[in-house]
Amino acid sequence: MSAHHHGSRGNAPGGVRGHAPLARLLLLLSFTLLFTLPPGTVRAEVRGEDPTEAMVRQIAKDLRCAVCQNQSVYESNSDLAKDMLSVIRQKVAAGEPEANIRDYFFQRYGDYIYLEPTTTGMNSLLWGAPFAGLALGGVALWLAMRQWRKKNLETNPPPPPATDAAMRERIQKELDQVRL
């Protein structure tokens, strides 16, 4: 090859040119994810944070802001969420257990206050209904197919088996004719 080809752009040894589109794609994907994620998703946690503040954050992240749409108390900027966060801080500072703090909000707002739905009470029906529906549908399908097969066999009985001597003799003759 000529020296011109070795020095030309994109023909570097090792096929470096082939990796450029992949690098551009990864860069584009990174920027797309960075700018399309909702605010607060890429929040860095504070190192050396006070343990009580970590507990406040954990409780507040699991509770739904009562006036926001599907936003946690910790992420919301509404006045109610700020008040709820203040109550959580006071209760944690007073040494109340996490379960008592969650129950305090549950008593005031019901199951709605939890971002993660519970599987107790009426919610257990909601969790179990799809599986029960699938099971009932499967049983209904099995029964329908069984009934359809039974009706089909009654109206179209299977042909008798071809094992009698006359049939075997006929098959042998046809095979002998083919083997010329």
**For residue 21, what are its two tokens?**
């589109």
In angstroms, the CA 72 to CA 75 distance is: 5
Percent of the chain with pLDDT over 90: 17
Mean pLDDT, rounded, for 49-66: 86
Burial environment of residue 105 by CB neighbours within 10 A (0 to 12, 13 to 18, 19 or more)? buried
What length is written for the chain? 180
For residue 144, name the pLDDT band (cuts at 50, 70, 90).
very high
In angstroms, the CA 30 to CA 27 distance is: 5
Instruction: Compare 165 and 44 and report the one with higher pLDDT.
Output: 165
Contact 54, 65 (CB under 8 A): no
